[in-house]
Amino acid sequence: MTKFSDLNLNPKVLKAIEEAGYETPTPIQEGAIPPALEGKDVLGIAQTGTGKTASFTLPMITLLARGRARARMPRSLVLCPTRELAAQVAENFDVYAKHVKLTKALLIGGVSFKEQDALIDKGVDVLIATPGRLLDHFERGKLLLTGVQIMVVDEADRMLDMGFIPDIERIFSLTPFTRQTLFFSATMAPEIERITNTFLSAPARIEVARQATASETIEQGAVFFKASRRDREGSEKREVLRQLIDREGEACSNAIVFCNRKVDVDVVAKSLKKYGYNAEPIHGDLDQSQRMKTLDGFRDGSIRLLIASDVAARGLDIPSVSHVFNFDVPSHAEDYVHRIGRTGRAGRAGKAFTIIVPKDEKNFDDVEKLIQKEIPRVELPNMPKPAAVAEDTDTASKPEKSEKPEKTEKKSSRSRSRKSDKPAQEKSSSRRSERSDNNVVGMGDHMPEFIALSFEERRAG
C-alpha cells in the first residue's frame, strides 16, 4: 500500500501530514500527486469527498517551497466556485504549509478590498480566489497574473453550472502559456471537456471512480409524497421532512437539508426551528460573516441541521455528516451525487433520503438513470392526511378565498333553472342581457363578467 512518504513530497510537508493524522493517500491523491510534482498538467476526475483538495495543495506547497513572491504577482492561483470552498482550500494550505514559509491571500466577496490589496501588495505565493473577485482586483490594476507558475481550477463542473466558464477562459488568457495547470471536476460535461482540450497540455488524466457515481457507503432512500391539496404541499412536505428526521432518531447526529431555491432554504429553516429543531440556513444572500459563523457551528456540533442551497454547500469539507435530506429533487441529476456525497465520506457510513412530489418524478427518474440503480422506497407510518394539516409557516402559497355560501346557492339555482329551459347559446345572451343595464363608469365600477359566473356556469360555457 502506498504511503505519503513514497510520493517524493517535501519533508516539511510530510511532517505536517503526519501531524494532521494522515498516513495513506486516497486514490485521487495517489494518482495526481506524482505527475503534479513532475510539472505535468493534471486532469483529475473524482466524486465529492475523495480528497481532491490535498491532491493539489500538497504538490503545490512542495513545488513552491523554493522561490520568493514578488509584489502584486502571485506565484500560484487556485480558483474556486464559492466563498466557502475557497476559505476551505485556504485552511488546507494553513495545515499542510505550517512548516514551510509560504504566504497566501484569499480573495472572496464579503471582505473589504483594502485588506486584500494590502496582502497582494506584499507579494503572495498562493492566491486563492473566486473568479469574480479575482477579476475585480485585476481590473482595478491591483493584480498581475503574469508570474503564475501553477494554476488550479477546482470543482470545474460547478463553475459551469454557475456561469463562470467565460471568466475562467479570460483568467487562463491572463496567465503565462508556460504555467502548469491542475484541473479538477466531479463530472466531465462537454463544455468542461472543451476547456481542458483548449488550456491543458497533454495532461495526466486521473479518474478514480465512474463519472457521477454515489459512494457505496451511503444508504439511500426515497419518499414519494402527494399533498392532500395543492396549497398545502409546502407545509405537508415539511411535515414529511420532520418525520424522516425523527425516524432516524439519535443516529442523525447532524445533517444537511438541501433545497433548490434560496427562499425555500429560509422557509424550511424557520419551520424546523418553530418545531424545536436545532437548524440554521446557509445560502448566497447571507452576509459572509454569518455564513462562516453558521458553518463553524455546524462543524463544532452546536448546529445539528444545516439547511442549504447547492451553491452554498458545494465542496464543504465536513467529514462527519451522518445524513443528507433532499427536501427537493435537484433539477440536474449530477447535483444529486454531489449532495449525497456530503455524507459517507472517507469510508464512513452515511444515509441520504429524498422527498419526491409528483412534479419532481421526471427529475428523480433522471437521477436513477444516472446512478444506474433503483433507490429503495421508504414508507412513513404517519404521512399527512387531508384532514390533518400541519400548522406551519408557508410563504410560498396561500389558500384561495371561498365564495360566500348564500351567493353560491343563488347562482347555482339560477344556473339550474337556465339549464333546464335554454340552450347554451341562449344562456350566454341571457346573462349578458341581465347585466346590460349596469352603468359602467370606469374600470373600478364593474367586475369582469366571467368572475360573476358560478362554477357550474363557467363549466357549461
DSSP class per residue in 379-418: --TT---TT-------SS--PPPPPPHHHHHHHHHHHHHH
- Whether 218-371 and 4-207 are alike in CATH topology: the answer is yes
pLDDT at 13: 95
Mean pLDDT of the 256-278 span: 94
Angstrom distance (rounded) from CA 99 to CA 96: 8
Domain ranges of the chain: 4-207, 218-371, 405-460
Residue 134 confidence (pLDDT): 94
Confidence at residue 199, expressed as pLDDT on a 0 to 100 scale: 95
The predicted-structure confidence for 3-43, as pLDDT tens digits, reads as follows 999 999 999 999 999 998 888 998 999 999 999 999 999 99
| Phi (first) and psi of residue 258, to 5 degrees | -100, 135
Structure confidence at residue 449 (pLDDT): 55
Report the topology of domain 4-207.
Rossmann fold (3.40.50)
Residue 374 has pLDDT above 90, yes or no: yes
Mean pLDDT across the chain, nearest whole number? 82
Burial 191-217 (b: 16+ CB within 10 A, else e): ebeebbeebbeebbbbebeebbebbee
DSSP 187: S
Does 286 or 360 have the greater pLDDT score? 360
Average pLDDT over residues 391-401: 43
Q: Distance between CA atoms of 243 and 382, rounded to whole angstroms?
A: 8
- Does position 110 have pLDDT exceeding 80, yes or no? no
Does 179 score more than 50 pLDDT?
A: yes
Q: Does the structure show a pLDDT above 90 at 459?
A: no
Long-range contacts of 123-126 (CB under 8 A, 24+ apart): 123/68, 123/69, 123/70, 123/71, 123/72, 123/73, 123/74, 124/69, 124/74, 124/75, 125/64, 125/67, 125/69, 125/74, 125/75, 125/76, 126/60, 126/64, 126/74, 126/75, 126/76, 126/78, 126/93, 126/102
Closest Cα partner for 92 from 112, 106, 113, 111?
Answer: 106
Distance between CA 86 and CA 90 in Å, rounded?
6
Q: Which runs of E-coded beta strand occur in 80-227?
A: 104-107, 126-129, 150-153, 180-185, 204-207, 218-224
Q: Is the pLDDT of residue 340 over 60?
A: yes
Q: To 10 degrees, the CA torsion angle through 21, 313, 302, 239?
A: -140
This model's pTM is above 0.75: no
| Residue 234: strand, helix, or coil | helix
Main-chain phi, psi angles of 159, to 5 degrees: -55, -40
Q: Among 60-64, 266-270, 274-278, 430-434, whose mean pLDDT is lowest?
A: 430-434
User: Considering only the top CATH level, what class is 218-371?
Assistant: alpha beta
